[in-house]
Structure 1
Amino acid sequence: MSWMATARFEARTAPDGLALVQELVNTHAVERDGADLLAGHATAQQWLQDASRQWAEDRGLEPADPTLPETDLQVLRDLRASVQEMLAIPPDQRPADSVGAPSAVTQRAEVYLATDESGRVAMIPAGTGAGWLASAIWSEILLAQRTGTWSRLKLCREPGCLSAFYDASRNGSGVWHNVRSCGNIANLRASRSRKKTHATADNNPQAES
């Protein structure tokens, strides 16, 4: 089993449960990499089932009930849009940690705390379907903000891609999910733009005077 949406982009996978947040964003449609996995109920149900199982396996927990009523389909899309908006904020402008209560609550989700015989404490998402996913997503973002990994989850700078990728570079300067694909596209576009500018200048020498 793997993170099927993220695998389509060949993007570096985020560590631990943050991969679920990345996976949700990467369900969006990109012409060269695949259709929107949340476009229809059947594909959304299959994606949620696979993603919840992968998350549970990675976290060492029991799988959740992935049953998704058709009425919850838009809830999934809205949740994805909310996370996309958060990732569109430059990493150095995002809150690095949660301090106190938010000034204005825009999303709510329920979790419960559980401990094991070793005294370890875990946040367990509550609910089923879209409700469970929202709980898991916000829990993982909270943990990522506390560990500092949240700033490493980014959207690819290529406008035609915008896939979520984990920037593992030493200085956190990565901007493309894949340098060979989106990086080359951006470099080719920039090269063509420079050539066009030079050609225009050569054809209009008076413009430089």
Structure 2
Amino acid sequence: MNSDDTSRSTGRLLLAAAPGGLCLVQDLLNSAGMPEASVPDLLDNESAAQTWLDASMQTWSEQTGRTARRIALSGDDLPALRDLRHDVRGWLTSEAEDPTPHPVDVDLSFRDGRFSFQPKGDGAAAVTSLVHLEALLASHTGTLARLKACMNPSCGAVFYDLSRNATRVWHDMKTCGNTLNLRASRARRRATAKGSPADSDR
């Protein structure tokens, strides 16, 4: 983890970046706030959102080996970015009711035997195009299925599952898995105690 990670949504959660351009999709999702952990929403204001996007595009450039141009945001872009984040989380958790179609507008180029692309324009529209293209590519390579949201409802951190069978459900077993497993175990013991004959005779 490098020194810039504290300004990145995934880095501040001490999580490794997803491979390739999928890191941008992950960063978008991890920009959400976690009130119980006092983690702020990075799309709450224009300054925080621009800092988030600049850092995320730097990670995207490092992960893909492509040069990232700066995408400028304004305050008017924030509602659309938050809607995009909501929609993408819906895909990831299979909770999307009616998938919202989003236009994709990019410049394609072919150089050194490979295609590359850059989103056109600025603002939320450019971010939306890039996020959708990276998600599309990841769905074809099978990596999108390994991007998961932590099952702890008060967490929801998005991590890349590197387990052999892709069976992880917690972003961190110590902070989320053990806590919820212990809570569930206590609930089962309470339920068993309430149903015991000793309780029914009282």
> What TM-score, normalized by structure 1, do the two folds share?
0.85
- For residues 139 and 57 of structure 1, the distance between their equivalents in structure 2, rounded to whole angstroms, comes to 17
Report percent identity of matched pairs. Answer: 39
Q: Which residue number corresponds to residue 137 of structure 1?
A: 131
Structure 1 position 89, deviation (Å): 1.5
Figure out how many residues of one structure are paired with residues of the other and give that number: 193
Structure 1 equivalent of residue 181 of structure 2: 187
Give, as a single letter, the amino acid of the residue that structure 2 aligns with 1:7: G
Map of 1:22 onto structure 2:
26
What do you get for the CA RMSD once the two structures are aligned? 2.0
Unaligned runs of 5+ in 2: none
Partner of 2:12: 8
Task: Identify the range of structure 1 (79-88 vs 7-16) with the bigger mean alpha-carbon deviation.
Answer: 7-16
Task: After TM superposition, give the deviation of residue 14 of structure 1 in Å.
Answer: 1.1
Structure 1: gaps (5+ residues):
91-103
Identify which of 142, 156, 166 aligns with 2:160. Answer: 166
What residue in structure 1 maps to residue 143 of structure 2?
Answer: 149
Q: Residue type of the partner of 2:76?
A: T
Post-superposition offset of 1:57: 2.8
Q: Tell me the CA shift for residue 33 of structure 1.
A: 5.5
CA distance in 1, matches of 2:135, 2:107: 16
Q: Deviations over 1:25-78 (max 9, x none)?
A: 001111215111111111111111111222123222222222111111111101
How far apart in 1 are the matches of 2:144 and 2:157?
16
**Aligned counterparts of 2:116 and 2:38: Cα–Cα separation in 1:** 35
Distance 2:139 2:192 in 1: 45
Name the CA distance, whole Å, in 2 between partners of 1:149 and 1:57. Answer: 18
Q: Which residue of 2 aligns with 1:94?
A: none
Give the ranges of 4+ consecutive aligned residues of structure 1 lying more than 6 Å apart after TM superposition.
none
Deviation at 1:183, TM superposition (A): 0.5
Q: Measure the CA separation in 2 of the matches of 1:170 and 1:122.
A: 30
Distance 1:37 1:59 in 2: 23
Paired AA for residue 13 in structure 1: A
Higher relative contact order (CA 8 A, sep 6+): 1
**Which of 105, 109, 112 is the aligned partner of 1:110?**
105
Corresponding residue for residue 62 of structure 2? 57
How far apart in 1 are the matches of 2:100 and 2:80? 17
